[in-house]
A = this chain, B = another copy of it.
Amino acid sequence: MDFSLTDDQIMIRDAAQDFLADKSDSGAVRRAMATHDGFEPDVWAAIGAELGWCAVAVPEAHGGMGMGPVELMLIQEQAGYHLLCSPFFSTVCLGATLLNSLGTDESQSALLPAVAGGELKLAVSMSDKLQLKADRLGENWSLNGQGLQVCDAVNDSMLLLFARAADGVGLFAIAANTPGVTLSSQTGWDATRRFSTVELDNVVTPMRCDNPGRLQQGGPRATALARLYIAAEQLGAAQRCLDLTVAYIAERKQFGRVIGSFQAIKHRCAEMMVQIEGLRSGVYGAAAQAASDAPVEILNMECAMAKALASDVLFHCAGEAIQLHGGVGFTDEYDPGLFFKRARASKTWLGTPEQLREEIAGVLL
């Protein structure tokens, strides 16, 4: 039992911090928000090709670095801190996690090396509603229906979608530019991550990815890990809300004093710190479980805990950041609003806090 980070882990975290402080500052985030696809291609290229983040959690056999959830969690924490706009989340945290957890050997060999090399973007649905049907068509499959809440789908993405087939639910890979695929993306209040509805009209693909033997354990494991990575991002974002606030109140003067000298303000910041550090313990602990021999039922509870807590803490901290910035806090010019919108949107991703706690209660009671 060891709860400390290894030197490699610390190096990965620090490198991510340095890169993002440079390439994902407030200006870069706002530029990315204004693009059609929601990210700047050169930042994505650097992440994939230069930094090798996409390879971190891919097995060495598929061209990856063979590290695990702790490393990815650390990167995600930094991504959240800097509100990184990038298909990294969908490609690596959702897509590669799915393939790792429940993919066939063939699908892993076909897709993971390109993911690890930063050459392939995966777009994955985050909805728990299944409105896709898959029918056998010779060697291929024909898909019809809607893929809902598909994350970061762009023209050259590979879509990874669950669909109902005659023999049960399967996972299918479809190039987004296949005939019959229509992406409709809508920019939400949170413009830092894009979601699309994908219409599939007799779309033919050869690639069914799920390994039936892995589905029962792998499905829940992939969901648990995806929740963990969102939680890590929320943790980073919450920390940023506190840091922005502390920096602001240390400068802003009213009544002839910096407002950070008012005890009520100090206590509110301390309360944020309590929640954030508690959350950090929770997220790191869940990641440590994911890196250990915890059975999937335990991992489920741990990651549900982390994501529920992270959603609540980030929402609280983003709200406090606006409030303690005073008038400028609710303007678009300052950054707290960006985190507030992310806080709101991410609250529902893969389960609201209430839904996640009900999952936990279902096991306890």
Contact = CB atoms under 8 A, between A and B. Distances in A.
A263 B264 CA distance: 5
A319 B231 CA distance: 33
A33 B112 CA distance: 74
A3 interface: no
Contacts of A267: 264
Q: How large is the interface on A (under 10, 10 to 19, 20 to 34, 35 or more residues)?
A: under 10
A54 B263 CA distance: 49
Interface in A259-318: 262-264, 266-267
A241 B16 CA distance: 52
A134 B302 CA distance: 55
**A interface, by DSSP: helix, strand, loop or mixed?**
helix
Nearest to A266: B264
A294 B263 CA distance: 47
A311 B214 CA distance: 52
Contacts of A264: 263-264, 266-267
A262 B266 CA distance: 12
A263 B266 CA distance: 10
A262 B267 CA distance: 11
Interface in A220-266: 262-264, 266
Contacts of A266: 264
A267 B263 CA distance: 10
Nearest to A267: B264
A257 to B, nearest CB: 11
Contacts of A263: 262-264
Contacts of A262: 263
A113 B87 CA distance: 81
A264 B267 CA distance: 7
A262 to B, nearest CB: 6
A263 B262 CA distance: 7
A314 to B, nearest CB: 24
Interface in A15-43: none
Nearest to A265: B263
A118 B316 CA distance: 54
Nearest to A270: B264
A267 B266 CA distance: 12
A351 to B, nearest CB: 23
Nearest to A261: B263
A264 B266 CA distance: 9
A168 to B, nearest CB: 38
A223 to B, nearest CB: 31
A227 to B, nearest CB: 29
A266 B264 CA distance: 9
A323 to B, nearest CB: 13
A264 to B, nearest CB: 4
6 contacts: A262-B263, A263-B263, A263-B264, A264-B264, A264-B266, A264-B267
Interface of A: 262-264, 266-267
Return the 4 tightest CB-CB contacts between A and B, nearest first: A263-B263, A263-B264, A264-B267, A264-B264
